[in-house]
Structure 1
Amino acid sequence: MNMHAQAMSKPIRLTREIGLLLLLALIWGSSFTLIKVAIPTIPPFTMVAVRVTIAAVLLLLIATAQGHALPRQGSVWAAFLVQGLLQSALPFTLISWGEAHITSGLAGVLNATPPMFVLAIAMMSGRGRQAIDGRKIVGVALGLAGVAVTIGIDTLAGIGTAAPLAQAAVLGASLCYALAPIWGQRFSKLPAIVTAAGAMSCAAILMLPAAAILEQPWTLAPPPAQAIAAVMALAIVCTALAMVIYFRLIRTLGPLGTTSGSYLRAGFAVVLGTTLLGESFSWSNLAGMVLILAGVVAVTVRLPARQDQMRPG
């Protein structure tokens, strides 16, 4: 029995896991707004380097306080390096650079595509960890439709005029987010905090020299307090806390279920924009959120044959 099968043989409280998925989507949905606040004065490599370094330090401190020892095997750290690249260093940089050239709404639409990549990878490779059936495919389609309705046709119309490289960058981040949970299944025997700390430490190791070489942050003008606060929130909440939740969900909901949160992430970005920035909210937004939720349920709720492995939350 492989590690994922061992993890899935244990009963899980589905309502709790869906609640964590909602929380993760809310946290990551806010990241688009925070990046938009910081990017005018903090360039992308520097922003990501600071973000992942602070998160890595926090995660290492938490892991140590909980009595966890970090792995010593070189093979595990090599795997952490790949995880840190796929889950943090590369996609964070691509999204941050992309948002300097396109709107956060369009970035949210483009970054809602990881479940599509997960399905494509699973079907092409034949190595999907979850059964891919018609219900999950319909769920992915519902989620994409919900994102389109929630964000609005006007935003989608910008796809034809926004910077093509910026669009490609955000889509590249989505591909990273699709590959990351598939790769991350190999850590299912490790505590989530240990995996998060190891992967984030490797992301920091990658990003610190990149920022130093490419942007020389010590030569930049001091950013305003608002931008600094945004980066701190990105580091502490959207990265450190989010990574612990994320690696837990990989074990309990699987790659497709975890990446389905990208639909909710886009929806929460709209809600946050409405409540915090005074953006308009319409019936189409509500209809889109309903479609998003329906898609997430279709993707994450397990097949009847597996219901005996769960107990109600």
Structure 2
Amino acid sequence: MYLLFLGLVWGTAFMFNKIAVQSIPPMTIAASRISLGALVVWIILRHRKLQLPSDLKSWAYIGLVGILGTAFPFMLVSWGVKYQNAGTAAICMSLIPLNTFVLAHFLTHDEKMSWMKLAGLLCGIVGILILFIDATLLEGSGLLPILGFLAFLLTGFFYSLSGVMIRHFKNKNPLVAATVMLICSSLAIWPLAMAVDQPWAVTPDAAGVWSIIFLGIMATGTATIVLVHLTHLAGATFVSYNTYLVPIVGVFSGYFWLDEPLKETTFASILFVLVGIYLTERWKPTAKKR
């Protein structure tokens, strides 16, 4: 049930971003949802009587992870969906495990390349190439859709980089770390939103406001709490299975509510990406007996 919740919430988040960006600038969307999410997580933190870190070093490192893994990605996604479909964003986000695998190969000592994982990576690349050609080159609509697509890919990179950096957290309660990440991200992004978007001059419509409320309370705050709880219950491997749900939910929510087209190339891209994820996550080398 928790896994299904995460898949539904994260999968539909791209649709709500698409709706919100019609009347609200991208940075303001990102700043607002991060602030709402930080408030939700902080309330739960206080309810559990947990304390935030007291040392500057923890705030600096966890805050940096939050900015790289929350502030930058949320800004990029909100900007990218102005020029690309929500379903396209969802498929690109499913590349996160493949990005993480590549980064972990170079940044860690215990997760190295294997032939099967390399085959999975190549499958993922083929899937994204199919999607890129269909979403940009075949449409022939100029530079902005290409930049929007690249923004999605860069978003996945930042998510993966922060995921690898989180592994270096030591003796940190996940809920405490999530709260620090969201607080620091909010503090970092609001000055940019104020300077670039001038949010006080924005006149959002009702759909945009409700979309931000969903993104902040559900897709950011509540989903973070559920993620922490589910990780403790079932482990990180089980949680990673939501990667298979997000692109499917994202594509079909865009189709049903935003009238985005369903194409053969879309399903081909999803198939290649999901097979790539399966190969990289399931075929892990077994430890040698001594």
Please give the range of the TM-score, normalised by the shorter of the 2 chains.
Answer: 0.7 to 0.9
Q: Does 1:73 align with 2:55?
A: yes
Match in the other structure for 1:82 = 64
What TM-score, normalized to structure 1?
Answer: 0.75
Q: Tell me whether 63-72 or 263-272 shows the greater mean CA deviation.
A: 263-272
The alignment covers a number of residue pairs equal to 282
The Cα offsets for residues 1-23 of structure 1, whole Å up to 9 and x where unpaired, read as xxxxxxxxxxxxxxx9xx73x64
1: distance between equivalents of 2:104 and 2:218?
A: 31
- 1:115 counterpart = 2:102: no
Q: What corresponds to 1:301 in structure 2?
A: 282
In structure 1, the residue matched to 2:176 is 194
Tell me if the contact between 2:127 and 2:271 (Cα under 8 Å) persists in the aligned partners: yes
Consecutive unaligned residues of structure 2, counting only runs of 5 or more, are none
Q: Determine which of 232, 236, 240 is the counterpart of 1:253.
A: 236
Structure 1 partner of 2:25: 43
Q: Is the 8 A contact 2:68 2:158 kept in 1?
A: yes
* Structure 1 pair 139–289 and aligned structure 2 pair: CA distance change class (3 A): same
Q: Structure 1 23/148 Cα, relative in aligned 2: closer, same or farther at 3 Å?
A: farther
Partner AA of 2:219 in structure 1? C
Correspondence for 1:242: 223
Find the aligned partners of 1:35 and 1:90 in 2 and give their Cα distance. 15
Match of 2:212 among 231, 249, 268: 231
**Letter of the aligned partner of 1:253 in structure 2?**
A
Match of 1:172 in 2: 154
The SS at the match of 1:187 is coil
**Structure 1 residue 92 displacement after superposition:** 0.6
* Aligned residue in 1 for 2:135: 155
Show the counterpart of 1:101.
Answer: 83
Of residues 162, 165, 169 in structure 2, which corresponds to 1:183? 165
Give the aligned partner of residue 133 of structure 1. 114
Kept in 2: contact 1:106–1:158 (CA 8 A): no
Secondary structure of the structure 2 residue equivalent to 1:186? coil
1:219 corresponds to: 201
CA deviation after TM superposition for structure 1 residue 245, in Å? 4.7
1:155 alignment partner AA? A
- How many Å separate the matches in 1 of 2:83 and 2:262? 24
Task: Write the letter of the residue equivalent to 1:181.
Answer: G
Give 1:91's match in structure 2, choosing from 73, 82, 91.
73
CA distance in 1, matches of 2:268, 2:151: 29
- Provide structure 1 residue ranges, at least 5 long, that are not aligned to the other structure: 1-15, 307-313
Distance 1:283 1:214, change over 3 A: closer
**Normalised by the size of structure 2, how large is the TM-score?**
0.80
2:226, 2:116 → 1: CA distance? 26
Change (3 A) 1:78 1:290: same
Tell me the distance in 2 between the aligned counterparts of 1:253 and 1:116. 15
Deviation at 1:89, TM superposition (A): 0.5
> Are 1:147 and 1:263, in contact at CA under 8 Å, matched by a contact in 2?
no
Mean Cα deviation higher: 282-291 or 236-245: 282-291
| AA in 2 matched with 1:224 | D
Percent of pairs with identical residues: 25
SS of alignment partner, residue 180 of structure 2? helix
Partner letter of residue 208 of structure 2? A
Distance apart, 1:157 and its partner CA? 4.0
Measure, in 2, the Cα distance between the counterparts of 1:55 and 1:83: 16
When residues 185 and 249 of structure 1 are mapped into structure 2, their CA distance, relative to the original with a 3 A threshold, is farther
Following TM superposition, by how much is the alpha carbon of 1:200 offset from its aligned partner in structure 2, in angstroms? 0.4
- Equivalent position amino acid for 1:31 in 2: A
- 8 Å CA contact 2:35, 2:183 repeated in 1: yes
- Kept in 1, the 8 Å contact 2:255–2:261? The answer is yes
